[in-house]
Chain A
């Protein structure tokens, strides 16, 4: 155990950070489900008409901005964890605490990018097909 305690605390066995790589996609999922549920409920129970449609579109659009901001914030943290400009390492194949730490940051960062694009995709229908018809 003696060797391990010499590492900085941030590299200690980080179970939470294994979950953290799924944070970006989780936000995508929440936004996706919320948009789907909002549209389902609004189209079933809400008032019909072009104004109503616009309210729904704006709601989904604002939700998307919130989700995008959250993902961007996660991406920022993940980028720092990856710490790319430090050693230009993107392979992370060594069995060290540092490589594992940076690998999880790298994976979380890439997943945040995919989630970011995914949220934009989800918001597109609100702009181009924002109607209950």
Chain B
């Protein structure tokens, strides 16, 4: 398996059915680029493209999957959730304005602060990154769309359903009320249905987040324009890559934690119950392994927006591109070493606290580097204080203040004093407002002409900024003092004689100023702008590809996909926009009036494939609705309905994959423009689907690793794990299960190889699911022992949860094997067009490793300790 051509892996030569190669000149010569396209050809091409990418009209508008529509809905929905969560905060501030107030009772106040925090994190901050990226990343890359548009649409509809479900619970006085981090035992034992709503509703959204992360990573790696090597891609793309990777490693631990939590709530498996060997601290670990990187998952994308605005404001290229890449990647890594600083008061050994204290201080280095690079760019450039820059500057000032208190609370003894007080409330709002809210609003002002082809108001924008900036400081600056004076977080009221009342009154007054600022901003967004007329195409004189957009709007994203050789193509490449408009670059045509985009290699962005892209559909809505049902029904203990809903969701997804992905193309190769002919189908490592699977499974493995971490955690945290005299899982059955998994994996691999060689591989795909089914049976039998009742103690519960995890994955593996079997039978898969076989095999690589680890942890290790 060697790759000498840079065109993807070559494996198992295909007998008599060689895959078509790329042919034609690349890179294009200056003469080729200078060659104009005749006017009539241009017009015909534009018409075909317009028809291929036409946005559906009327009620069918909602079937759109194109990044510009989905991104717009996504950002708007996240913004609405943010405003709602902000209103909750305002009501809380009213309650706290004076001592012994009774605007809210304790129960409702608990629901309000829980939903405020949860919504700001899960329904605003993280989705907003994904929403903005879906909306503008393809434009940065000159791409037509994201590689999996229907996946974005599915993610959006999941997000909408889950968000409405969680927020809506407030109306029924049933909202979660145990705080946004849901600590057990409060949340497991004393909370009503709210905790289930939180766990299931948000798990659902987390899955949508991971889907978006997969989409964005593949988008950055495989959908860049030809020539845009990793050293010239926009910094935003670097940040997307880093943040996408962080989501893959940060969200799965929380999903694993949610799974344990819900098993305890629904089926009484005692993961967090100390009386039966469980430990509430495990939840804190899993939550914060997610929760701290989460802060940087929120922060880095906003810094990415900043990195796009600063060069425009300074009218020069960014200073220290390599340093900013260092900063993004370094922060991404170091931010995973901070989670215990939320747990300084839980009694961990001093030396452990020291590690996290040190890492919390070390993360300042990469975080600071990028800010200095921005300042350097501004210093050497000729800065125009455009409105977006005002928001960025305000954001950096507030963020720096939050960073300084961050260093203070990174010191464990200081943290012991202020833990759970308003000092922390002040600190986290300074970091999040400065690090996320203000830069994002700056980004909205900056990108609005690109998104809506209209300008926001300069005057209203300045009003909004100064109201928000001063309101924010009036609200949160006094909270440092309130906290040092000992006021704890999450109290619904306080007595009047301990010196907190005037500080709270100031904060409440400030909150209204802040809210007024948001009202101005919201009005600026919503007010009719019809009289504005047509705006200029590049109003800020930016240098990156999004400013090559069409005004008035066209649905195709990019008229032709440019050959990019610089970091700021509009500034640095001669006649770039004119040539893009003239269809003189790649993919200027849609010969069959179908949606297509260009796929390039990971490092050097050499064009390798024309990728068909999916179009409008209702199937994503159905799939999202049924997925929602599968998550929402268990809240009300409607398990059979939930299972039925889950089965329907899987059916919808299979239908969607079968009808719309990896279809055998009418022409094996097509003209991509500039004399280049590219294949229209790819399988294995050169296809986007394979990358999507690979990245998904990386996240999936992280969730599994978190469960294994749980097993080890129980072993270290309790003196008797496994408890004395407990039965062991059956070794013979575990070995049989492992054998079943290994042979099923081998059969899947054999099927792929045999098919490639042109043989009928169906026998292997009939055998493989049977072996997998045998493995499932054996795995269940290995722990189905009378002494291993998962309700009795956390030890059998841990064994069972690992088995459940494997059973679910083997089940999905069987579905994929049968999908391939059906594909071979009905001619969807041939020796030459075999992408689903590669993706299934890749999945099975992961499943077999998971199975091996499970067999060892379940049946072997307990016998050894």
Contacts and interface: CB of A to CB of B under 8 A. Distances in A.
Contacts of A14: 603
A26 B352 CA distance: 20
Contact of B330 (A18, A32, A111, A125): A111
A93 B566 contact: yes
Q: Among B325, B355, B564, B567, which residue has the most Cβ atoms of chain A within 10 A?
A: B355
Interface string A97-133: 1011001101100110011011001101110111111
Contact of B337 (A32, A91, A129): A32
B66 to A, nearest CB: 29
A108 to B, nearest CB: 9
Contact of B604 (A1, A13, A32, A40): A13
A12 B7 CA distance: 12
A95 B566 CA distance: 6
B362 interface: yes
Interface residues of A, number: 58
A53 to B, nearest CB: 8
Contact of A28 (B6, B232, B333, B604): B333
B532 interface: no
Contacts of B228: 95
B147 interface: no
A22 B336 CA distance: 14
A14 B755 CA distance: 30
A4 B333 contact: no
A43 B349 contact: yes
A91 B232 CA distance: 10
A110 B322 contact: yes
A29 interface: yes
A121 B365 CA distance: 12
Given A36-B352, A103-B322, A129-B350, A22 B329 contact: yes
A71 interface: no
Contacts of A117: 362, 365
A95 B603 contact: no
A111 B717 CA distance: 35
A2 B227 CA distance: 16
B231 A43 contact: no
Contact of A104 (B26, B230, B353): B230
A29 B426 CA distance: 30
Contact of A39 (B6, B352, B566, B717): B352
A95 B6 contact: no
Given A32-B337, A92-B231, A40 B564 contact: no
B567 A93 contact: yes
Contact of B351 (A43, A93, A103, A118): A43
Contacts of A110: 322-323, 326, 330
Interface string B310-345: 000000010001110110011011101100000000
A2 B352 CA distance: 57
B717 A125 contact: no
Contact of A114 (B330, B352, B567): B330
Nearest to B360: A121
Nearest to B351: A39
B567 A121 contact: no
A122 B354 CA distance: 8
A93 B321 contact: yes
B606 interface: yes
A125 B357 contact: yes
Interface in A31-61: 32, 35-36, 39-41, 43-45, 53, 56-57, 60
B767 interface: no
Interface string A70-91: 0000000000000000000011
A90 B359 contact: no
Q: For chain A, what secondary structure do more than half of its interface residues adopt (helix, strand, loop), or is it mixed?
A: helix
A29 B333 contact: yes
B351 A107 contact: no
Contacts of A100: 229-231, 603-604
A95 B565 CA distance: 5
A122 B355 contact: yes
A64 to B, nearest CB: 11
A21 B336 CA distance: 18
Given A93-B231, A100-B229, A114-B330, A122 B358 contact: yes
Given A90-B322, A92-B321, A122-B355, A13 B6 contact: yes
B604 A126 contact: no
Contact of A29 (B336, B351, B603): B336
Contacts of A122: 337, 355, 358-359, 362
B358 A125 contact: yes
Nearest to B228: A95
B351 A25 contact: no
A133 B359 contact: no
Contact of B358 (A57, A94, A121): A121
B161 interface: no
B329 A111 contact: yes
B495 interface: no
A104 B231 contact: yes
Contacts of A41: 716
Given A13-B606, A32-B359, A40 B27 contact: no
A56 to B, nearest CB: 7
A81 to B, nearest CB: 12
Interface in B1-57: 5-6, 26-27
Contacts of B336: 29
Interface in A4-27: 4, 12-15, 17-18, 21-22, 25-26
Contacts of A25: 329-330, 332-334
A121 B326 contact: no
A117 B5 CA distance: 39
A133 B326 CA distance: 37
Contacts of B358: 121-122, 124-125
Nearest to A26: B333
B5 A1 contact: yes
A12 B6 contact: yes
Given A12-B6, A32-B359, A103-B322, A125 B354 contact: yes
Interface string B365-390: 11000000000000000000000000
A114 B365 contact: yes
B326 A111 contact: yes
Contacts of B329: 21-22, 25, 107, 111
Nearest to A123: B358
Interface string B715-743: 01100000000000000000000000000
Interface of A: 1, 3-4, 12-15, 17-18, 21-22, 25-26, 28-29, 32, 35-36, 39-41, 43-45, 53, 56-57, 60, 90-95, 97, 99-100, 103-104, 106-107, 110-111, 114-115, 117-118, 121-122, 124-126, 128-133
5 contacts: A36-B352, A95-B227, A95-B232, A100-B231, A122-B362
Given A25-B330, A114-B326, 5 more contacts: A12-B6, A13-B602, A13-B603, A60-B351, A114-B330
List the 3 closest A-B pairs by CB distance, nearest first.
A125-B354, A95-B565, A103-B231
